[in-house]
Structure 1
Amino acid sequence: MKFKKVSLQTKDLDGMKDFYKNILGCKVETELAHSFEVKFGYTTIEFNDQNTEGNPFYHFAFDIPSNQFSEAKEWVLKRVALSTEDGKDDVYFENIKAHSLYFEDPAGNIVEFISRTEDNPKSETPFSINNIVQMSEMSLVVDDKVMVAEELKKAGIIDRNGNKIDPVGLNFMSDKNGLVFLLLVHPNRRWYFSKKDAVIFPMTITLENGIKLGIDENNQFFLI
């Protein structure tokens, strides 16, 4: 499973474009009156402000080379403040052998850079936004996680550890390859490295096999 394209809403299209283009150094692939697209390795992200209600924000993670976490952290610190948790500005996940850091963009999206030491490729090129491999995690906030998990099974997407779906906790969903994940999240769960609680907002994820899934304008899950 790979995320080919992810479409997200924003109330601050100009601020987001300036941040991703001029602060992070992304190339704007497509620019229209109400949207723009930037590419992170394999994955394209579209930000759009059409029919946007509230102040949408999301959590997503990008894979960075397995040998460049410290270098990437220095690179990020020159551009944006890192988020903290218990006084720390990064974390090591022993269970998956990965280092992560977090920061927020102008829309308040919780952006994560994750270096999976055993799974991500290495790079000898000085770190830049071009070293990002792909989006490897996209959080999906839903009211009924059990129902959504049953729908995801139809696309071969299951809990990565084969666990029973936790109706209020966090479940990492993937296919048999298990290197890219949908995070099923219940509303009001506090995001790690953030003071924000999860909220349902519209979004569309297009997988490499053409399957589309996400949250529609009525805040309902869909899979087609």
Structure 2
Amino acid sequence: MIIEKLALVTANSASLQPFYSDILGFPVIRSEQGSFTVQAGWSELTFQETSDEADGEHYYHFAFTIPENKLPEAKAWIEARVPIGTEAGEDVSYSESWNSHSVYFEDPAGNILELIARHTMDNSVERPFDPKQDIICISEIGVPTADIPAAVEHLAKLGLMSYKTTNESFNPIGDDNGLLLVVSTGRRWHFTNKTAESFPVRVHIREAGELSFSSNEHGLTIENIN
């Protein structure tokens, strides 16, 4: 599953843009009053200001794929710029079922970002880590919901199927290239003290077009807005 574009909301885009352009070094594609878009590998990431007062507390979890052999160098690069998350005294996450290593960090708005090296992918490089070349794409976005089975069923009708191990509170959809992390609201995000909450998301998936996710007390509303 290829995530070509991801659009999220924020309380203040002007204060957030320098983190992505200056700290992470992502090229700015568009910048205007109330929004900006940066290029992250083959993916575009947009933050759009919202007038909803509650949006000041909004945060998302999303991940960037890096070459499978570059996690140590990528970790050194990012922790020289921002604090990285820890859990049980560890600052690197290893998933045996996914065969991947990750590090986590936050942007100034509290969004939870991840650099993930998936050892199932044939994308190693034999040069020093270069974020301009080696942040390959956005490969995960969390979409919390109160009703995981309903969301999974809806996405299956769009041809987007479950990935590897699932359980009652976590059901990733997609493949190594890209995943929608369908998780239960209230579930703790890995390597943080934050719980998963549902906020508006728009994602353009090559295989399914543009999808809009919003929530209510019954679960996710998923619209295909092609």
TM-score over 0.5 (shorter chain): yes
Partner Cα separation in structure 2 for residue 43 and residue 117 of structure 1: 21
| Counterpart check, 1:87 vs 2:85 | no
Letter paired with 2:85: S
Deviation at 1:172, TM superposition (A): 1.1
Q: TM (normalized to structure 1)?
A: 0.91
Which residue pairs with 1:146 in the alignment?
Answer: 149
Instruction: Identify the match of residue 182 of structure 1 among 159, 165, 180.
Output: 180
- Preserved contact between residue 40 and residue 129 of structure 1 (Cα < 8 Å): no
The C-alpha deviation readout for 1:13-69, integer Å capped at 9, x for no partner, is 122101111111111111011100011111101001133442210001110011111
Shifted more, 5-14 versus 126-135: the winner is 126-135
- Preserved contact between residue 73 and residue 129 of structure 2 (Cα < 8 Å): yes
Partner Cα separation in structure 1 for residue 99 and residue 3 of structure 2: 22
Shifted more, 181-190 versus 202-211: the winner is 202-211
- Preserved contact between residue 13 and residue 35 of structure 1 (Cα < 8 Å): yes
Deviation at 1:217, TM superposition (A): 7.7
Q: Structure 1 segments of 4 or more deviating over 6 A?
A: none
The C-alpha deviation readout for 1:146-198, integer Å capped at 9, x for no partner, is 111111011111211386x62xx111111xx5532111011111111110111
Partner Cα separation in structure 2 for residue 161 and residue 83 of structure 1: 25
Shifted more, 117-126 versus 40-49: the winner is 117-126
Q: Which runs of 5+ in 1 are unaligned?
A: none
- Preserved contact between residue 64 and residue 120 of structure 1 (Cα < 8 Å): no
Q: TM (normalized to structure 2)?
A: 0.90
Partner Cα separation in structure 2 for residue 24 and residue 217 of structure 1: 30
Which residue pairs with 2:18 in the alignment?
Answer: 18
Q: 1:81 to 1:7 in 2, by over 3 A?
A: same
Which residue pairs with 2:49 in the alignment?
Answer: 49
Partner Cα separation in structure 1 for residue 177 and residue 4 of structure 2: 14
Letter paired with 1:148: A
- Preserved contact between residue 9 and residue 52 of structure 1 (Cα < 8 Å): no
Deviation at 1:78, TM superposition (A): 1.0
Letter paired with 1:203: V
Match of 2:38, SS state, is strand
How do residues 111-190 of structure 1 correspond to structure 2 at under 5 angstroms? 111-130=113-132, 131-161=134-164, 166=168, 169-174=169-174, 178-190=176-188
- Preserved contact between residue 28 and residue 36 of structure 2 (Cα < 8 Å): yes
Identity %, equivalent residues: 34
Which residue pairs with 1:67 in the alignment?
Answer: 69
Partner Cα separation in structure 2 for residue 26 and residue 127 of structure 1: 15
